[in-house]
Amino acid sequence: MAQTRIFRTVSLAFVAAALLAGCAGSGTSPFVGVWGDTSDTKQPSLDLKSDGSVSGTDGCNRLMGSWTEDGKTIAFGGFASTRMACEGVDTWLSNAATAKIQEDGKLAVFGQGGAQIGTLAGK
């Protein structure tokens, strides 16, 4: 009797795990990957990971944070960054709030007020 219960419990656990894995989906978000020119450290770029983390640079300071996807738009959870003073560098990317992929394949980046503040080339 105890062995039957253990077998049922283990079987149910495997079935539940298989169902949950199926719910997770097999598709990768089109946002995941590198955006911008990573070969030039003075240019802004982002690396969006499938686990919801993001890292990159605004052309001066390193950026680290999180992102979530909602349909065709992503929202950034705010960035932690280094605070170096870089003369002549526009650090617009550190003000990113949301982004979406444009028809030309670039990532359009929007600030807190909803205005577009810049774009990053596709991967």
Phi, psi of 21 (to 5 degrees): -65, -40
Q: How far is 85 from 17, CA to CA, in rounded Å?
A: 49
Whether the CA torsion 98, 70, 122, 28 is positive or negative: it is positive
The string of pLDDT tens digits covering residues 27-60 is 689 999 999 998 888 899 999 999 999 999 999 9
Mean pLDDT value across the chain: 82
Q: What is the share, in percent, of the chain residues with pLDDT greater than 70?
A: 77
pTM of the model as a whole: 0.75
Higher pLDDT, 12 or 75: 75
At 69 the pLDDT is 96
The residue extents of the domains of the chain are 33-120
Distance (Å, whole) CA 6 – CA 4:
5
User: Is CATH 2.30.40.10 what the domain over 33-120 is classified as, yes or no?
Assistant: no
Averaged pLDDT, 15-31: 52
